Structure 1
Amino acid sequence: MGESNQSAASDFILMGLFSNTGSHLVLFFLVVTMFTMVLLGSTILLYLIHTDSRLHTPMYFLLSQLSLLDIGFPLTTIPKMMAAFLQGGGSISFGGCAAQMFFLMLMGVSECALLSLMSYDRYVAVCHPLHYPVLMRRQVCLLMVGTSWFSGVFVASIQTSITLHFPYCASHTVDHFFCELPALLKLSCSDTTAYALALSISGVLVLLLPISLIVTSYGLVLGAVLRMHSAEARHKAFTTCSSHITVVGLFYGAAVFMYMVPGTYHSPQQDNVVSLFYSLITPTLNPLIYSLRNREVQLSLAKVLHRAGFRSIR
């Protein structure tokens, strides 16, 4: 108990990504630009989905939840990193570190579940189009979204509470730019071997089960597409699914490296880059992938811009 109290009473020091050098200043402003793009792109996408009745479909409802997660990821990490860079210090309280870890775990697990359920949506749309309104009715969509968010809260609550239960009585310098679970475990002055093994096993479940569903869904989709006689129908099916496959590849590639590859095979510098990838780069790309490759979103955005231009003239 004394060790736990000592942990809670001490702040952690985040190493950050940048030093005050010319090249790192350029990288810092690049991160700020991407952070702005995430907030702007995802907010616009949410607005379009909410206001345009043509986008009131199961696919876009699930996409709106992905946009919320894309906003949450960088909001949890980037402002603190920016403040640390500008102030010249990366101190974060024990409670702040716990909050970062909880919300990042929540959003990461929720996105894993959501992406797998979105692959099921595409499977139904391509392989069972006539049954789509029934199989993807509103109650089913709400159940999907609720399952995604609940799984995130459940896993995050367990993992965060266990991680913070360990005493941190030695170094409080986190070799990372935010409080991520693997980086924090390295600072504990107690034996975390058993928990690290349990974490790896849970990582396999959290990542491999959704990946299995995704591979199965798109395997069936590919088989259905190859059996189509119409070249136009095959092109439409590939276009419909390609955006989601791209997002899945970007997100899961980084997550698998971070949580399934043993820590001895990657350095803290590599962890920083990979974490930046799934917490900022992927959320930045998601709205661009969905909007630039999707005609319905393009038409909706053009309609909004046209109305805004018309009103400004009036």
Structure 2
Amino acid sequence: MNNDTEMIMTEFILLGLSDHPVAQAIFFWIILIFYLINLLGNGLMVLLIITDSHLHTPMYFFLSNLSFLDICYTSSSLPQALLTCSTERTTISFMGCMAQIYICLYLGTTECLLLAVMAYDRFVAICSPLHYTVIMSWRVCIQMALGTWGTGFILTLIPVVALPKQFCGSNVINHFTCEAQTLGHLVCGDTHFSDIISFMNGVLTLIVPFTFILVTYLRIGLAVWRIRSDQGWSKALSTCSSHLAVVGIFYGSAMSIYLRPKSKYTTDKDKMVSVFYGAVTPMLNPLIYSLRNKDVKQALQKLFGGKGSRY
């Protein structure tokens, strides 16, 4: 495309579901409820893990990181989605749009890596229980957590550097928020290089950690297969089932969005799936862990004045 058709964007217009005002109003309340449940559930999970000494273990340390991460992740996009649904014409500055994209990419990438670290923690707990406290010492846990957050930041820089900065024609984004793939439709010129970089980054942030998790749980499954007692099976199932559920929901929805063939247009279905992906998965995490975890239930009883016993 010629240079005279290129534009210096100062702001973008977010469409949301403006063509369907009734659906947009309903969607607003659904997202608001999900967001409030996410803040309450993940916030309560962080509070429980900090205040209850029985939850001061590596597993809950990483879980508190996940809950804090989900609060940040949803807060980086859902307020914008709510604003888009509640106003007739929603605009966002160029810098605000870029910041939203990069923050969401960073937090999403970090969550991919954190789930892989949590799988390794479960692997050590089941396959090397006698050496667990040595392998997963507090020093190691802190280093792994810091490494996860740091690596997520480095991996986010890859698509940031490759993202074109020139835009053509309309400044209308057919979405509730600034979303990287949707913004890519407005980019001028040849996007072949940036598409390759984005795909490679998707492999690094989604395929590699997911493969690591699959291999880890395959080894866990082989170890559990050798357990002859019902008690051992039950302990292994309670230890891993919650994390497996979260992994299935998170990676399944993320891969369906970011690893599918790039489309030139964004449909209303794509927009809603994308927002639900950023709202439903973080909301379900604390519910999955609390409903299937005896320690968390007992910590809740203790926090709210119950007399639940741990023994």
State whether TM-score is above 0.5. yes
List aligned pairs for 1:224-243, cutoff 5 A: 224-243=223-242
Corresponding residue for residue 309 of structure 2? none
Corresponding residue for residue 170 of structure 1? 169
1:246-305: per-residue Cα shift (whole Å, max 9, x none)?
Answer: 000111011111111112499533432332233100000001001111010000011000
Q: 1:22 to 1:218 in 2, by over 3 A?
A: same
Find the residue that maps to 2:305 and give its secondary structure. helix
Deviation at residue 23 of structure 1 after TM alignment: 4.3
Aligned equivalents of 1:12 and 1:215: distance in 2? 40
Letter in 2 for 1:129: P
Greater per-residue helix proportion: 1
Greater displacement, 266-275 / 51-60: 266-275
Corresponding residue for residue 310 of structure 1? none
Letter in 1 for 2:279: L
How high is the TM-score relative to the length of structure 2?
A: 0.92
Aligned equivalents of 2:95 and 2:294: distance in 1? 44
**1:273 maps onto 2:250 in alignment:** no
Q: 1:211 to 1:285 in 2, by over 3 A?
A: same
Corresponding residue for residue 60 of structure 1? 60
Q: Is the 8 A contact 1:105 1:155 kept in 2?
A: no
Greater displacement, 92-101 / 192-201: 192-201
Aligned equivalents of 1:166 and 1:24: distance in 2? 30
Letter in 2 for 1:220: R
Corresponding residue for residue 117 of structure 1? 117
Corresponding residue for residue 48 of structure 1? 48
Corresponding residue for residue 27 of structure 1? 27
Q: Is the 8 A contact 2:42 2:71 kept in 1?
A: yes
Deviation at residue 21 of structure 1 after TM alignment: 3.7
Unaligned runs of 5+ in 1: 308-314
Q: 1:266 to 1:84 in 2, by over 3 A?
A: closer
Letter in 2 for 1:169: C
Letter in 2 for 1:99: A
Q: Is the 8 A contact 1:174 1:183 kept in 2?
A: yes
Number of equivalent positions: 304
Corresponding residue for residue 100 of structure 2? 100
Aligned equivalents of 2:264 and 2:211: distance in 1? 25
**1:290 maps onto 2:289 in alignment:** yes
Aligned equivalents of 1:253 and 1:171: distance in 2? 33
Corresponding residue for residue 259 of structure 1? 258
Q: Is the 8 A contact 1:98 1:160 kept in 2?
A: no
Q: Is the 8 A contact 1:254 1:277 kept in 2?
A: no
Find the residue that maps to 1:263 and give its secondary structure. coil
Corresponding residue for residue 70 of structure 1? 70
List aligned pairs for 1:152-171, cutoff 5 A: 152-163=152-163, 165-171=164-170
Letter in 2 for 1:64: S
Aligned equivalents of 1:257 and 1:250: distance in 2? 11
List aligned pairs for 1:207-218, cutoff 5 A: 207-218=206-217
Deviation at residue 153 of structure 1 after TM alignment: 1.3
Q: Is the 8 A contact 2:66 2:111 kept in 1?
A: yes
Aligned equivalents of 2:272 and 2:91: distance in 1? 21
Deviation at residue 73 of structure 1 after TM alignment: 1.7
Corresponding residue for residue 130 of structure 2? 130
Corresponding residue for residue 38 of structure 2? 38
Letter in 2 for 1:255: A
Corresponding residue for residue 179 of structure 2? 180
